[in-house]
Structure 1
């Protein structure tokens, strides 16, 4: 692909655009899209079009194959730029996953204020400037929140920080794109500039990109008979006649997905041989195969080429070939296999409940104004996205199998993460995300916006399924089943109360687990939030450390009426073999390695702090204490001085002291 590329690398947004402008028109290059991505990550500026020697201008435009959309998430009000988020990282990936070659962040990008560049590649070089203007106009109308200036043929785009998503095989099919242009062309004021040549609208029974079977060796081409790939790419209306499937009816989308994944991909694609040339890239020797997973019964497509590596079920294969959204791709498959979806009255009611909930979750401003404590716990988009994903999974699992109560479904955290982040290297990615997502799921359960069901409350068929799935995957606990409660004016006030209680009891999101719930809220509440771990005992070392911390705190409070948390940690001596415990919990440390005293001291201090955070709320309730920050008046009342207590006049740490009047809405703590 030919375009203009500056030769200077920048580490931050250029402050000398005039310098780039004066030299970039002299640097035409011919690079692949992968090479362009590398250059952009070096901080180089590019113009996605080939220009004549001379000034960078529309008049010197020669041709173009790359389109770059610029989302700065800003609007101009009274001449000032105002942040207005319309395109987040997650939304960009979802929107452009089947079209973009890559998406990168600008130098000034942040999670709070995303600044993104979406790079698209046409399957054909355009050398007709009127046609190119119409194509750019199409994208301008489709994405009105994109920067207007990015739709100029000679626009410069700066390099950036990181690529958040890429699929270098993606191409915008010109023939398919042009189907969308006539309505735009008709609205063009200058008719002479808006008329497209007749060849752009040639039609046939099957029209568009041909399947990528490019082998020059006849023995490979002969392995493909009755190939259906062109029909799928062009979304052939009568695909059901080709497949000749019998009509079938299901009650839930999940049942539809399960049925489709069990359909033989050889028959669907019209490919007979086990090994064949991949349909997603050009090659001369077969690198792809189709196989069935014996554990699930699902058919899979796999390309073993390092340049492609595509893998997926019939769902992903269809999405990739058709370039349709997941919803439209599913509709195509349902029509092809003559599948109908019939919903019962109960399913209709549950769908209404779930969509009502999603309507609330999609309006954080309402939550902020009406339920501020709940809003403060839903800290970022990651919380909302995870909770919404539970709703989407529930929608897919509205089976006729259970027609009483709320929608019942199960999903492992790995499955949910793969849905939320489908384009990440999952084996590396899940290490960082799984723990956070599990904590958030437990918080949702505590807040009553998600309900976990214990095995003894499940219908027999579901319980057997849970036990079988846990055994098959070697899980320590059974699979978790969930229901989605209604977010209405009766339930959300209770969620707000629980959110307030969470803060009042000094509970923390980072440390929220069964141990904290057990020590702070009691066994009944711990069993509600963690039903599959009912009866599980807290580790002895944790129990013993909590007891020692409690004894130290009470002893000091009894002596002088108050205590700082640092004093508690300092005067609590752990009755454990610290070096043995560290090595037992960190397999990376070799048995013959001798830990330094400083390493052991640091670990012991952190361990005590962690145990303290988990027990703090229950400790305060049990002994009628409160945790408050010191101020000048409190220092005077408690006679706290630097000479006697070591707290400087300008220092105001938190202390634990006897509570004069109980004022928190806490529940009684059970004996542990």
Structure 2
């Protein structure tokens, strides 16, 4: 195979300056490679152009389709809408391999699918025909792949499918009509057997068909009778806001807008001369998504909710109310839900009130950085309350969610931080996390089903089940005591977790806050690290009666050569050490300095400092 292959290897996505250099350098490096050699070069981090570009225009060679000469490799770039696991199944009969891009993560799959053609194509229209058809089948792929001069950066992992797989050009291009100009759809002949998972509802003849203007007229006029006649929805009764949102987002957006399924169409949100919009269904959530690839479009991407907001020029509440009427969704709250909502709404009001600040000052001080997270969590609980209590003695609101859902609401990219904050809320007795044997069986079965369904993409997607306490005087007084113990034991959120609670308060308390970790044991590494820190503090105290935390950490040599680990380990066990040896921890001052005969202490800049010390 002939293509352009850069000579420089990268460990991460090249910077803008590096891209500029690659852009000029790569034109001087045409190469002949096998499929496996190409995969190996990509894994080294080399950039490639899957085409031969050697035609000079006006005596100059540029990275441009005008200089394009031939091509035998095709790439599709996926950043959204498909997982690697799905892709490995979807392309098992036609792709050579898949590789992860530099920006790929376990939670956000970013990858490229590499196809090898069964023959070299030298007519650029053939390339365009193939790419247009693939992109109409896979609208979630990056449309810039249709540029035959595009550069593709290297990656971090190769996943071979079959290096002998080939795309048959004749299945995509009519040999007798190589002058295809995009207007005659009948020139495309697609071998459907290779693409059944994503083509059940698509036809290759649907490409670029117009929008049914009547649907948009019905929507803008809020003509429910006409929309009911077109969509023929069945009545549905739901009990939670989340059920409403989930249901309307799963309704076929193409049918709603009047867009024939499959292929690109002229965007309904701007004057779109070249069809640049498409609709696809998220394989994980089942939600339909509208996406416009045009740079002239301000809408870009969104669900049916956002589409209605734009078309009706309304807010989310009005959009949802309209969609409920369109799809005959009846929202019914039970008396149980109403009672529990009152509890949660009062909790939400209280944590934002001045009363909370003045009545429970220690608690407020601790919770102040996390009040918005607490408020969001309570709001999530309110929107997900089940229609009934599951046990006769159940008095508290029960609901379930995932850390990923909570993280999305908090705009938090790393759910692990929110796991710690929920742990803090449980420690404070604001909520109670149910053990597995306490969860109603039918809900637990559903949660495990969701875990199996999503574990390949997100291991943190297991539903967690919570009961929310009413923030009564009794509960808040108890929480005030927990807040005080947080400070008395010198706890920090940077080291928060099961081990910190275990070392400070014991196994029972750690398991109360983290019931899912009931069988957890402290690792040998943690035991060894704690022993070394413990010994260092005892040695310093025995020699002179005091020690700074910094010098203890500098003195200790651990198996893990990472300072952040030592810091966290020190914070996890500080409360345990103070109680165990009757020690105190305090920021140094002149009085304490004189009492303990501590000399002047200097920081790294040579200036006098007053660090936190541990002393007898």
Global fold match (TM > 0.5): yes
**TM-score, normalising length: structure 1:** 0.54
Determine the structure 1 residue equivalent to 2:367.
378
Deviations 1:8-64 (A, max 9, x none): xxxxxxxxxxxxxxxxxxxxxxxxxxxxxxxxxxxxxxxxxxxxxxxxxxxxxxxxx
Give the Cα–Cα distance (whole angstroms) in 2 for the partners of residues 642 and 327 of structure 1.
63
Please state whether the residue corresponding to 1:563 is helix, strand or coil: strand
Give the Cα–Cα distance (whole angstroms) in 2 for the partners of residues 288 and 546 of structure 1.
59
Report how far residue 332 of structure 1 moved: 0.9
**2:375 is the alignment partner of 1:388:** yes
Please state whether the residue corresponding to 1:491 is helix, strand or coil: helix
What stretches of structure 1 move > 6 A for 4+ residues in a row?
216-221
- Partner residue of 1:310 out of 300, 319, 330: 300
Deviations 1:258-307 (A, max 9, x none): 32223222322222242322222221232222333444443332333344
- Partner residue of 1:654 out of 575, 594, 612: 612
Give the Cα–Cα distance (whole angstroms) in 1 for the partners of residues 510 and 245 of structure 2.
35
Listed as ranges, the matches of 1:350-369 within 5 Å are: 350-363=340-353, 365-369=354-358
Listed as ranges, the matches of 1:539-618 within 5 Å are: 539-574=523-558, 576=559, 581=560, 603-604=562-563, 606-618=564-576
Please state whether the residue corresponding to 1:249 is helix, strand or coil: strand
Give the Cα–Cα distance (whole angstroms) in 2 for the partners of residues 269 and 346 of structure 1.
38
Determine the structure 2 residue equivalent to 1:289.
278
Report how far residue 612 of structure 1 moved: 0.8
Give the Cα–Cα distance (whole angstroms) in 2 for the partners of residues 521 and 323 of structure 1.
55
* Contact 1:452–1:482 (CA under 8 A) maintained in structure 2: yes
Report how far residue 240 of structure 1 moved: 5.6
Determine the structure 2 residue equivalent to 1:271.
259
5+ residue gaps, structure 2, are 1-182, 186-205
* Contact 1:519–1:618 (CA under 8 A) maintained in structure 2: yes
Determine the structure 2 residue equivalent to 1:626.
584
Please state whether the residue corresponding to 1:378 is helix, strand or coil: helix
Listed as ranges, the matches of 1:43-62 within 5 Å are: none
**Relative to structure 1, is the Cα distance of residues 345 and 639 closer, same or farther in structure 2, using a 3 angstrom cutoff?**
same
Give the Cα–Cα distance (whole angstroms) in 1 for the partners of residues 227 and 466 of structure 2.
36
**Relative to structure 1, is the Cα distance of residues 227 and 274 closer, same or farther in structure 2, using a 3 angstrom cutoff?**
farther
**2:428 is the alignment partner of 1:447:** yes
Deviations 1:490-517 (A, max 9, x none): 2111121111111111111222222222
Report how far residue 641 of structure 1 moved: 4.9
**2:466 is the alignment partner of 1:482:** yes
**Relative to structure 1, is the Cα distance of residues 396 and 560 closer, same or farther in structure 2, using a 3 angstrom cutoff?**
same
Please state whether the residue corresponding to 1:246 is helix, strand or coil: coil
Please state whether the residue corresponding to 2:474 is helix, strand or coil: coil
Determine the structure 1 residue equivalent to 2:452.
471
**Relative to structure 1, is the Cα distance of residues 551 and 260 closer, same or farther in structure 2, using a 3 angstrom cutoff?**
same
**Relative to structure 1, is the Cα distance of residues 396 and 217 closer, same or farther in structure 2, using a 3 angstrom cutoff?**
farther
**2:518 is the alignment partner of 1:524:** no
Deviations 1:208-243 (A, max 9, x none): xxxxxxxx9999886333632233234345466444
**2:491 is the alignment partner of 1:502:** no
Determine the structure 2 residue equivalent to 1:537.
521
Please state whether the residue corresponding to 2:280 is helix, strand or coil: strand
Report how far residue 651 of structure 1 moved: 5.5
**TM-score, normalising length: structure 2:** 0.59
Determine the structure 2 residue equivalent to 1:340.
330
Deviations 1:557-610 (A, max 9, x none): 234433332342243333x2xxxx45xxxxxxxxxxxxxxxxxxxx44x44333
Give the Cα–Cα distance (whole angstroms) in 2 for the partners of residues 518 and 321 of structure 1.
55
Deviations 1:134-172 (A, max 9, x none): xxxxxxxxxxxxxxxxxxxxxxxxxxxxxxxxxxxxxxx
Determine the structure 2 residue equivalent to 1:45.
none
Determine the structure 1 residue equivalent to 2:320.
330
Report how far residue 347 of structure 1 moved: 0.7
Determine the structure 1 residue equivalent to 2:407.
417
Give the Cα–Cα distance (whole angstroms) in 2 for the partners of residues 629 and 222 of structure 1.
73
**Relative to structure 1, is the Cα distance of residues 527 and 362 closer, same or farther in structure 2, using a 3 angstrom cutoff?**
same
Give the Cα–Cα distance (whole angstroms) in 1 for the partners of residues 489 and 548 of structure 2.
17
* Contact 1:412–1:480 (CA under 8 A) maintained in structure 2: yes
Report how far residue 394 of structure 1 moved: 1.6
Determine the structure 2 residue equivalent to 1:199.
none
**2:236 is the alignment partner of 1:248:** yes
